[in-house]
């Protein structure tokens, strides 16, 4: 009996699956902590030049107060340079320069000096890596570079954990991800410099992505085919809960080192999964480990109160899906680029992944730039994800894939553009449109993730998903860099995000509709898109790569 048929008899979503699914989904909260912690760990507080000890006497300022003198020095170079303290002092004492509040009269031929020490405001954020390691002015590039390198770590994690989980199993790599995250988070929290912090932050990105990838795969392999979409969105929902919880913890903890510790130490609690979390039955069957798979299947039957017969356990691995067509030809990722119609579909899909990841992380990491309370903004940004997932589950099978993908991306993109042009003093309006944009891009990310697995044919599906994941990581790496463009023009990042979203949404209409159709087996079926529609498909596809990874 094929395992999917047996799983329906055992209970495709019985008590056993519900308990294990809940336990695995809890990891989604942990992954959200580590995916988004840079929003608060790397927050950029207000800063100004620190004026060191001076022998200048306050009493010698005849026409200028000492406070006006300090303010005048600091305001001269936007926090990166100051007027020469001794020169301005001499001019004031000699009566050649008068500072009265914001009014300055007298000699203006003043030289400037570069700041070497700064004072940081703690009105909004507590100590961050920016304030502790002075990542401002000439060192400001290290802040955005750390974020970009984090996404580079995610690329490594998706490749390494994806391959190794297929070789050694889901459970060993799941536990390896937890251990790596524990080590990386603890060392990063104690880092004495950016030279130590960055390598372990890269490892943190690799571990977080790898852990989420394996957890997502385990969720979708745990349940019957008709429940895969729900299981996939369920772990994403837990991710959103972690997203919101991070803002609450950061608000009360404030110090970046303690934030790192608090989001890392709970990893220890998951050590009990070594005993209670089983290996994926599907992976065991794929490796012909029938005896181990049978043991777990019997446990599933016992927990779900189902009687098994020997006949049911016969020939469990007889119907393994074939990755090659009847002619025996070996397909590779090169086939994603030929013929021309297949190339057009591939590039379209990858561009959508690229834009979705860039905008998703751009909006997530940029909540502090919207104005108002950054903790509330971040919490709202996480909260809008949950209804986005719910709507996907409710309407995707009814409305198809293309039009919802186009609609959510266009609405999200236009909202980003509007938010960019809303005046800074209208904080509520600006945040509202940004959150509509976040809602749209969250929904579209989930849709393109599902649609990709349905568009690419079986012979190149894994390769197509792998390249899609890579383009998403590249988009994520560019997001922090684009956010820095606000120094050129404040609305520029949101305008770019919006334009790219609208463009990608429009191109999505060219993709073939996949809802209600069987998964294509060959490239020819994908190109022709002539598969007959079926009823509610038993095995709605849910890929096993990290889609936010989906969306982590």
The string of pLDDT tens digits covering residues 393-408 is 888 878 989 999 999 9
- Residue 23 phi, psi (nearest 5): -65, -40
Residue 76 clears pLDDT 90, i.e. is over it? no
Tell me how far apart the terminal alpha carbons of the chain are, to the nearest angstrom.
Answer: 36
Residue for token digits 């999917």? Answer: 4
For 453-497, the three-class secondary structure string (H helix, E strand, C coil) is HHHCCHHHHHHHHHHHHHHHHHHHHHHHHHHHHHHCCCCHHHHHH
Per-residue pLDDT at 311? 78
Residue 460 clears pLDDT 60, i.e. is over it? yes
Q: What band does 12 get if pLDDT is binned at 50, 70 and 90?
A: confident
Winning range, highest mean pLDDT, from 77-86, 270-279, 323-332: 270-279
Q: Which residue has the higher pLDDT, 89 or 76?
A: 89
Please compute the mean of the pLDDT values over residues 269-289 and round it to a whole number: 88
Q: What band does 117 get if pLDDT is binned at 50, 70 and 90?
A: confident
Please compute the mean of the pLDDT values over residues 164-192 and round it to a whole number: 93
Give the percent of the chain with pLDDT over 70: 87
Sign, Cα dihedral of 469, 474, 477, 483: negative
3-state DSSP percent of the chain in helix, strand and coil, to 5: 65, 5, 30
CA distances, 541 to each of 223, 224, 501, 515, 531 (Å)? 12, 11, 25, 10, 16
Please compute the mean of the pLDDT values over residues 431-437 and round it to a whole number: 95
| SS3 label, residue 103 | strand
Residues with Cβ within 8 Å of residue 167, at least 6 apart in sequence: none
Per-residue pLDDT at 543? 42
Please compute the mean of the pLDDT values over residues 131-153 and round it to a whole number: 91
Sign, Cα dihedral of 462, 467, 468, 470: positive
Please compute the mean of the pLDDT values over residues 452-472 and round it to a whole number: 81
Residue 457 clears pLDDT 90, i.e. is over it? no
Per-residue pLDDT at 324? 44
Residue 327 clears pLDDT 90, i.e. is over it? no
Query: Which stretch of 87-96, 135-144, 263-272 has the lowest confidence by average pLDDT?
Result: 87-96
Please tell me what DSSP assigns to residue 136: S
CA distance 247 to 249: 6
Mean pLDDT for the chain overall: 85
Residue 102 clears pLDDT 60, i.e. is over it? no
Please compute the mean of the pLDDT values over residues 115-132 and round it to a whole number: 92
Q: What is the pLDDT of residues 283-310, one digit of tens each?
A: 888 788 888 989 999 999 999 998 888 7
Query: Which stretch of 1-10, 74-83, 110-119, 209-218 has the lowest confidence by average pLDDT?
Result: 74-83
Per-residue pLDDT at 100? 66
Per-residue pLDDT at 1? 65
Residue 335 clears pLDDT 90, i.e. is over it? no
The helix (run of H) or strand (run of E) holding residue 105 is strand 103-106
Per-residue pLDDT at 321? 44
Q: What band does 315 get if pLDDT is binned at 50, 70 and 90?
A: low
| SS3 label, residue 547 | strand
Per-residue pLDDT at 82? 82
Per-residue pLDDT at 62? 58
Residue 106 clears pLDDT 90, i.e. is over it? no
H and E: helices and strands count for the chain: 22, 6
Per-residue pLDDT at 542? 44
Residues with Cβ within 8 Å of residue 198, at least 6 apart in sequence: 142, 145, 146, 149
Per-residue pLDDT at 350? 95
Per-residue pLDDT at 329? 63
CATH of segment(s) 1-45+134-306: 1.20.1250.20
Residue for token digits 């060191």? Answer: 52
Per-residue pLDDT at 533? 47
| SS3 label, residue 442 | helix
434 contacts 415 by C-beta, under 8 angstroms: yes
Range(s) of the chain covered by CATH 1.20.1250.20: 1-45+134-306, 337-523
Per-residue pLDDT at 226? 78
Residue 65 clears pLDDT 90, i.e. is over it? no
Residue 196 clears pLDDT 70, i.e. is over it? yes
Please compute the mean of the pLDDT values over residues 216-237 and round it to a whole number: 84
CATH superfamily of 337-523: MFS general substrate transporter like domains (1.20.1250.20)
Residues with Cβ within 8 Å of residue 422, at least 6 apart in sequence: 429, 430, 433
Q: What band does 442 get if pLDDT is binned at 50, 70 and 90?
A: very high
Please compute the mean of the pLDDT values over residues 404-418 and round it to a whole number: 96
Residue 57 clears pLDDT 60, i.e. is over it? no
């Amino acid at each position: 009996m094929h395992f999917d048929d047996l799983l329906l008899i055992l209970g495709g979503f019985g008590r056993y699956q519900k308990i294990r699914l809940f336990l695995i989904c809890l990891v989604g909260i942990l992954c959200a902590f580590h995916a988004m912690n840079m929003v608060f760990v790397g927050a950029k507080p207000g800063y100004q030049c620190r004026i060191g000890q001076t022998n200048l006497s306050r009493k010698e300022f005849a026409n200028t107060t000492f406070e006006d003198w300090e303010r005048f020095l600091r305001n001269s170079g936007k926090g990166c340079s100051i007027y020469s303290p001794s020169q301005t002092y001499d001019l004031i004492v000699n009566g050649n320069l008068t500072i009265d509040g914001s009014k300055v009269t007298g000699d203006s031929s003043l030289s400037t000096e570069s700041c070497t020490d700064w004072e940081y405001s703690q009105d909004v954020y507590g100590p961050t890596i920016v304030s502790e390691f002075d990542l401002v002015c000439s060192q400001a590039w290290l802040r955005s570079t750390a974020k970009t390198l984090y996404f580079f770590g995610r690329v490594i994690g998706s490749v390494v954990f994806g391959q190794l989980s297929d070789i050694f199993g889901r459970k060993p790599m799941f536990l390896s991800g937890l251990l790596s995250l524990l080590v990386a988070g603890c060392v990063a929290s104690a880092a004495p410099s950016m030279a130590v912090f960055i390598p372990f932050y890269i490892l943190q990105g690799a571990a977080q992505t790898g852990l989420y990838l394996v957890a997502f795969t385990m969720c979708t392999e745990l349940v019957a085919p008709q429940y895969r979409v729900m299981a996939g969105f369920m772990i994403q929902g837990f991710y959103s809960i972690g997203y919101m919880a991070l803002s609450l913890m950061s608000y009360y903890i404030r110090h970046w080192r303690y934030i790192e510790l608090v989001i890392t130490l709970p990893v220890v609690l998951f050590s009990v999964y070594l005993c209670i979390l089983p290996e994926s039955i599907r992976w065991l069957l794929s490796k012909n480990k029938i005896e181990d798979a049978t043991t777990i299947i019997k446990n599933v039957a016992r927990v779900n109160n189902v009687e098994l017969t020997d006949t049911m356990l016969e020939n469990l691995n007889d119907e393994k899906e074939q990755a090659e067509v009847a002619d025996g030809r070996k397909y590779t990722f090169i086939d994603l680029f030929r013929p021309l119609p297949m190339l057009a579909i591939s590039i379209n899909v990858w561009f959508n992944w690229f834009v979705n990841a860039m905008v998703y992380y751009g909006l997530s990491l940029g909540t502090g730039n919207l104005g108002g309370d950054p903790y509330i903004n971040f919490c709202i940004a996480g909260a809008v994800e949950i209804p986005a997932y719910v709507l996907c589950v409710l309407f995707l099978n009814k409305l198809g894939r293309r039009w919802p993908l186009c609609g959510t991306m266009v609405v999200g993109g236009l909202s980003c553009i509007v938010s960019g042009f809303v005046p800074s003093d209208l904080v509520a309006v600006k945040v509202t449109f940004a959150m509509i944009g976040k809602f749209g891009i969250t929904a579209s990310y989930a849709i393109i993730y599902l649609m990709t697995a349905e568009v690419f044919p079986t012979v190149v599906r894994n390769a197509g998903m792998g390249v899609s994941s890579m383009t998403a990581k590249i988009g994520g790496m560019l997001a922090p860099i684009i956010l820095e463009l606000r120094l050129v023009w404040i609305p520029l990042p949101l305008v770019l995000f919006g334009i790219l979203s609208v463009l990608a949404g429009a191109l999505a209409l060219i993709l073939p509709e996949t809802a209600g159709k069987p998964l294509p087996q060959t490239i020819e079926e994908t190109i022709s898109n002539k598969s007959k529609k079926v009823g509610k498909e038993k095995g709605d596809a849910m890929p096993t790569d990290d889609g936010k990874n989906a969306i982590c």
